[in-house]
Amino acid sequence: MFTALFVLLGMSTAYSAPLPPASPDAVVHCAIDAERMGQSVTLSPRIASDDGVMGVYTLAVTKSGPDGSAVLSQGGAFDTAAEDAGDVGEMTLTLEPGAALEATLRVEWNGGETFCVLGA
């Protein structure tokens, strides 16, 4: 059972090369899919756009529970025009009884940014 907790904003990311230009009307959508199996949960960030957009993403996860807490992150480049568009990674972690997690997906492209949040 997954429940939205709250939105984290105000994160900043620096990258060394400028992003390629995107259509000024580009609309980028994101989602975090979660699949729970026993005490494990697999998070799969997804990015989509009607236009071919390239950019960078960061998936930040905070887990807290009786066994302690952890902060994990992964990120990289994406291209919605690529053959594997949409799938930008996967993260599996243990979620012991009484533990909770919050995942925030930040997506940046030349011309905008968007956030998706998942809490469990």
pLDDT, average across residues 66-90: 86
Give the architecture (CATH level 2) of 29-119: Sandwich (2.60)
CA angle 58, 13, 26 (to 5 degrees): 70
Mean pLDDT, the chain, as a whole number?
Answer: 79
Q: What tokens were used for 11?
A: 């994160």
- What mean pLDDT comes out for the span 71-86? 84
Question: Domain map of the chain by residue range?
Answer: 29-119
Residue 84 has pLDDT above 70, yes or no: no
pLDDT of residue 33: 94
As a whole number, mean pLDDT of residues 29-52 equals 91
The pLDDT, as a whole number, for residue 27 is 82
Predicted pLDDT of residue 60: 97
pTM, entire model:
0.76
